[in-house]
Structure 1
Amino acid sequence: MTLTELRYIVALAQENNFSRAAERCSVSQPTLSVAIARLEDELGVQLFERGKGFVSPSLVGAKVVEQAQHALEEAEKVRQIAQRGRDQLDGTLRLGVIHTIGPYLLPQLIHSLKRVAPNMPLVIEENMTANLADMLRDNDLDVAILALPFDLPGVLTRPLYDEIFKVVVPCGHPWENLPAIAPEDVAGDEVLLLKAGNCFRDQVLGACPQVSSPETDIRLGHSIGTIRCMVASGLGVSVLPEGALQHPYNNDMIRVIPFLPPEPSRRVALAWRNCFVRPKAIDALLAAVRGLDSPAYRLLV
């Protein structure tokens, strides 16, 4: 039994597909299949039930996979503990970030981090909060930047900044010259939202409860960039985070209107496992955030 074989069975259990599991492990499908069959022979049990287009852990296989995951986590701790004798800021850091933050924060953050930790490049995973939580828990990520609230056992969070929301309308819209707008006035079928499952969508609906949101393709976008373009095209109005409206993302085809106080906002935080063995890397990220120079981010660090 090897750690490689344990990685194979964990990947197969999570993917439920030999091809995807092999791709995830960067090996050919026959290599993965043979290794798993060899492990089953060694253990004397069938770990997976197989059928045409179907693969799933057996009852005993699920228990073996769970223990294999623990073993891999402990093996990773051994590797990371060995690195403690070296510079904790020397080597890649696996950073997850949600879609509505990544494109706007990362260019500034990476630039700031290079000054603090020039030998610690980021390996970036942009994804939805639920997926980042799974990756953080499974040790596929070291840290994540996401919006609060976020509660995951064994994971610590540190608030980084507050980011207020703004209303965006197309040029020529009746609201374009308003000095400010109340959240309850943002309502009607012309309000453009992100697709369901995005935490920022939920935050907008919480801030502007009068928004009616029938599930129609024209009113929903996959990204903030798409929403911004839809507004510029005159398809409606929207609510976006301030960071997504700074240069170079603003343009002459839209107008930005502040909310009346108290302005709705979101709190963005850093999250990491409480057993993470590179605390200086966390400190470096916090220092890099402190070095940000943008009016969109009300720093809390």
Structure 2
Amino acid sequence: MNLAGLSLRDLEYVSAVAEHRHFGRAAAACGVSQPTLSGQLRKLEEFLSLEIFERSPRGVLVTARGEEVVAQARRILSEARRLFEVVRTGAEPLTGVVRLGVISTLGPYLVPFLLRPLRARFPRLRLLLIEGNTRPLIRQLEQGELDAVLAAGPLGESDLAELPLFREELALAVPRDHALAQVDEVRPGDIPASELILLSEGHCLRDQALAFCPDRLREGDHVLQAASLESLRQMIAAGSGVSLFPQLAIQVGALLDDMVAYRRIAGGAFGRDVALFHRPSFGRIRDIRMLRQAIGEILAEQSAVRVHRPGIRLAS
């Protein structure tokens, strides 16, 4: 088979259709017309003598053998992007574009601390921030669509390199008129599992809340859910229940302070370890390590944080 019949653009079309499961949305993501994308994919399938996608009026499905093609296409695209990473490695550090994913329960509360100092330190750095849930961001990182991801670890089974940054305590957020709002600290056994509000499926903080009351609350139990931390804060303010809250979100979100009380959990063992993750093969590892160092230094300069080896720990 002649490789001249295969192009990286074709592989980008394959990856986009597999991701969006829709030819129109995939074409828009690739910046081409739908007939152009559809026609080129037909030619590719004929070239490979293989049906990659199953087309029907109800949508697009990836065939069993097509899944293998999609996976290999993404690996090839990832390696192709490394060509540009290698070229940039010898350039001035932290210049150009860095595509950084940040989990949604961290981004709105951490990024405001970072943007101005990072711009002052690295004026030629163009930081593209992509917010989302952990699993989709990690998948994008593994496929080469992101350069690094700020997330709570550990990730479990993963080949990604992890650069620890800081440990963020989790506190219990309760309505101001709740009985637990009258105490300085709460013990894990004091927390009413029946009142616990969870974030929706896909948030790592949901898993931590479930792990918090393993004997009294299990996945599948009927509980209230919130789509975001701010929705969760509003539900607590309205008296709908209680939940765990990261410390950075407590510091930034002062608007409902007269309606929500935050109580430390005795023992200080409940928190999440935030780290910067990257592919071990990434061609700009020096830049990612410099970014990690800069983030750590910026957080340490804030009055709310203190240095805690090997990373940064939020002060109580």
- Structure 2 length-normalised TM: 0.85
Structure 2 counterparts to residues 96-175 of structure 1, below 5 A: 96-175=101-180
> 1:230/1:159 Cα in 2 relative to 1: closer, same or farther (>3 Å)?
same
- 1:25 aligned residue: 30
Q: In the alignment, is residue 239 of structure 1 matched against residue 239 of structure 2?
A: no
Give the 3 Å change call, closer, same or farther, for CA 115–287 of structure 1 in structure 2.
Answer: farther
Deviation string, structure 1 residues 154-196 (Cα, Å, up to 9, x no partner): 3100111011111222222222221211011101422222123
The correspondence for 2:276, drawn from 270, 292, 300, is 270
Q: Does 1:37 align with 2:46?
A: no
1:113–1:284 Cα contact (<8 Å) kept = no
Residues 111, 208 of structure 1: CA spacing in aligned structure 2 closer, same or farther, 3 A cutoff?
Answer: farther
Distance 1:211 1:223, change over 3 A: farther
Structure 1 residues 163 and 76, CA gap change in structure 2 (3 angstroms): same
Uncovered stretches (5+) of structure 1, i.e. residues with no partner: none
Instruction: Provide the residue aligned with 1:205 in structure 2.
Output: 210
Conservation of the 8 A alpha-carbon contact between 2:94 and 2:291:
no
- Cα RMSD between the aligned structures? 2.3
- Following superposition, the deviation at residue 88 of structure 1 comes to 3.7
1:249 aligns with 2:258: no
Match among 222, 226, 231 for residue 215 of structure 1 = 222
Q: Which runs of 5+ in 2 are unaligned?
A: 1-5, 312-316
SS at match of 1:72: helix
Q: Is the 8 A contact 1:187 1:212 kept in 2?
A: no
CA distance in 2, matches of 1:53, 1:228: 38
Structure 2 Cα separation of the partners of residues 56 and 50 of structure 1: 7
CA contact (8 A) 1:162 1:297 kept: no
CA, structure 1 residues 243+297, in 2 after alignment: closer, same or farther (shift >3 Å)?
Answer: farther
Structure 1 residues 211 and 26: CA distance shift in structure 2, 3 A? farther
TM-score, normalized by length of structure 1? 0.89
- Equivalent-residue separation in structure 2 for 1:67 and 1:265 (angstroms): 38
Structure 1 residue 280 and structure 2 residue 286: aligned?
A: yes
Contact 1:156 1:271 in 2 (8 A): yes
The answer to whether structure 1 residue 9 and structure 2 residue 14 are counterparts is yes
Structure 1 pair 208–249 and aligned structure 2 pair: CA distance change class (3 A)? farther
Asked whether 1:77 is paired with 2:86, we answer: no
> Separation in 2 of the partners of 1:64 and 1:122?
32
CA distance change for structure 1 residues 297 and 50 in 2, over 3 Å: closer, same or farther? farther
Residue 304 (structure 2) aligns with: 295
CA distance in 1, matches of 2:14, 2:111: 34
Amino acid across the alignment from 1:273? R
Per-residue deviation, residues 231-270 of structure 1 (Å, max 9, x unmatched): 1122222221111111443522222211111341111111
Q: Is the 8 A contact 2:197 2:226 kept in 1?
A: yes
Match of 2:56 among 39, 51, 57: 51
Change (3 A) 1:188 1:63: closer
Cα 1:172–1:73 shift into 2, 3 Å? closer
Identity %: 34
Secondary structure of 2:125's partner?
Answer: coil
Shift in alpha-carbon separation, 1:172–1:41, aligned structure 2, 3 A: closer
Distance 1:168 1:60 in 2: 49
Give the superposition deviation at 1:63.
4.2
The amino acid across from 2:280 in the alignment is: N
Q: Does the 8 Å CA contact 1:195/1:222 hold for their aligned counterparts?
A: yes
